Amino acid sequence: MISRAAEHCFWLHRYVERAENTARLLQVNLAFVLDARVAEHEQWWPVLRALGEERQFSDTGLPSRVTADGVQDFVVWDPENPGALLNSVHQARVNAHAIRETISLEMWEAVNTLWLWLTGDEAHRLYHEDRYAFYDAAKHGCQRFQGSLYTTVSYDQPFDFMRLGALVERADQTTRMLDTAFLRAETGAAPDTPLWLATLRSCSAMESYFKRGQVPVSGRRVGEFLLFDLAFPRAVAHCLQRSSHFLRRIGAGRGSAGRPAGATTEALLARLRATAPGVVLDGDKHAELEGLLVAIGAVADAIVSEYFPAVPAAASAMEALSVDA
């Protein structure tokens, strides 16, 4: 397929994925803070950290805004925040608009109606009247896109590049989420069990986790699940394995030597799988997880430079965020 179109595919789904994760994280935190009787600041800064938007937020020069509404307004609406939900959906639409003939009509409608809804009166009304329902509606908008992706286009290159964008974003988000949760646990600012339950929920992982029978809930167990599980869609190992699958399919017929992005991904997956969970989760967790974030970033870079050699304009907003790892 045309390289430029492939690039738009990658960023389109990556932004939708980010939008969905943002909505879920905010929704989960909304409920979690009712269990965590700590200062408002302690309740909401972790959201900024998990989304990699701490620096953008402090740049606004209003540290006093680390309040429930201050953070949510920033993360959902602030035009100065490149990672804001509004901006993610806008970028998704811009990328979708550039490849309307590549994606299906139903996918385009999903993105377009999400954008029209988010910029219309109804979304603002809901945001003020029923915050929980607002996040639900935002998630549903993203899921409508994902559903139509699976049911309305052929499983060939455009599909593969879209999935890659989502998987890379997911691996990145899960890693950040975990890192932030450990930090929260260390500062003792949140009660342990509710914190790990909330972390699982933020990755929509609670049911899958319990089906594995990993009780009692602990940071060590949740970390192991979210990093190493191969079957759970938001676990880092799963994301890497699927990425490697799609990269192999895209480069069909070429060995890994002819596919630098595929080789980078496979190497990272192999390294992760050869690592004993204790090495990551019992030692210097933050150094390990930051190392993992950098490695995931390298996978994204390898995909970009192998398949979309020109400077990706669409990526700028996302790149502005990634320096915060």
Partner 1 sequence: MFDHYEPVEPAYDEAFAAPGKPRGAMASTIACFESMGLADVRKRKRLADQAFRDLGVTFLVHGDARGVERTLPFDPIPRVITASDWALLERGLEQRVRALNAFLGDVYGQQRILKDGRVPRDVVLGSGGFLAAVHGVRPRGGVYIHVAGIDVIRRPDGEFAVLEDNLRTPSGVSYVLENRKVMKRLFPQALSRNDVRPVDEYPARLREALSSLVPGGSARGVVLTPGPYNSAYFEHCFLARQMGCGLVQGSDLAVRSDGVFMRTTHGLAQVDVIYRRIDDAFLDPETFRADSLIGVPGLVRAYAAGTVVVANGIGNGVADDKSVYPFVPEMVRFYLDETPLLRQVETFRCGTPRDRDYVLANLASLVVKAVGGAGGYGMLVGPAATRKERSAFADRIRANGAEYIAQPLIELATCPTLLPARVAPRRVDLRPYVVTGRSSWVLPGGLTRVAMRNGSYVVNSSQGGGSKDTWVLADSAA
Selected range binding partner 1 among 32-40, 99-107, 165-173, 178-186, rule: CB under 8 A: 99-107
Q: Tell me which DSSP letter residue 64 carries.
A: G
Determine if 265 is a binding residue for partner 1 (CB under 8 A).
no
Burial environment of residue 19 by CB neighbours within 10 A (0 to 12, 13 to 18, 19 or more): buried
Q: What tokens appear for 81 in the block? A: 């925040």
Q: Tell me which DSSP letter residue 314 carries.
A: G
| Contacting residues for 199 by C-beta, under 8 A, at least 6 apart | 177, 178, 181, 222, 226
Determine if 149 is a binding residue for partner 1 (CB under 8 A).
no
Determine if 131 is a binding residue for partner 1 (CB under 8 A).
no
What is the rounded distance in angstroms from the CA atom of residue 72 to the CA atom of residue 28? 12
Determine if 4 is a binding residue for partner 1 (CB under 8 A).
yes
Among 98, 118, 295, 321, binds partner 1 (CB under 8 A): 98
Taking residues 179 to 208 in sequence order and writing x for each that binds partner 1 by CB under 8 A, - otherwise, the string is ------------------------------
Q: What tokens appear for 11 in the block? A: 């960023």
Residue 283 or 309: the one with the smaller Cβ distance to partner 1 is: 309
CB of 300 to partner 1, least distance (A): 16
Determine if 319 is a binding residue for partner 1 (CB under 8 A).
no
Among 250, 295, 302, 321, binds partner 1 (CB under 8 A): 250
Determine if 97 is a binding residue for partner 1 (CB under 8 A).
yes
SS3 at position 152 = helix
Q: What tokens appear for 97 in the block? A: 């608009």
Determine if 294 is a binding residue for partner 1 (CB under 8 A).
no
SS3 at position 82 = coil
Among 12, 23, 36, 99, binds partner 1 (CB under 8 A): 99
By CB under 8 A, how many residues form the interface with partner 1? 24
Determine if 305 is a binding residue for partner 1 (CB under 8 A).
no
Short-list 23, 107, 30, 20, CA closest to 69: 30
Tracing tokens 């940071």 back to the chain, one arrives at 219
What is the rounded distance in angstroms from the CA atom of residue 322 to the CA atom of residue 320? 6
CB of 309 to partner 1, least distance (A): 9
Residue 156 or 186: the one with the smaller Cβ distance to partner 1 is: 156
Residue 168 or 181: the one with the smaller Cβ distance to partner 1 is: 168
CB of 109 to partner 1, least distance (A): 6
Half-sphere exposure of 151 (CA within 13 A, CB side): 8
Among 58, 67, 112, 256, binds partner 1 (CB under 8 A): 112
Determine if 91 is a binding residue for partner 1 (CB under 8 A).
no
Contact 81, 74 (CB under 8 A): yes
Residue 101 or 129: the one with the smaller Cβ distance to partner 1 is: 101
Short-list 321, 261, 266, CA closest to 293: 321
What is the rounded distance in angstroms from the CA atom of residue 300 to the CA atom of residue 123? 33
Where along the sequence are the contacts to partner 1 (CB under 8 A)?
A: 1-6, 94, 97-102, 105, 108-109, 112-113, 116, 157, 161, 250, 307, 310
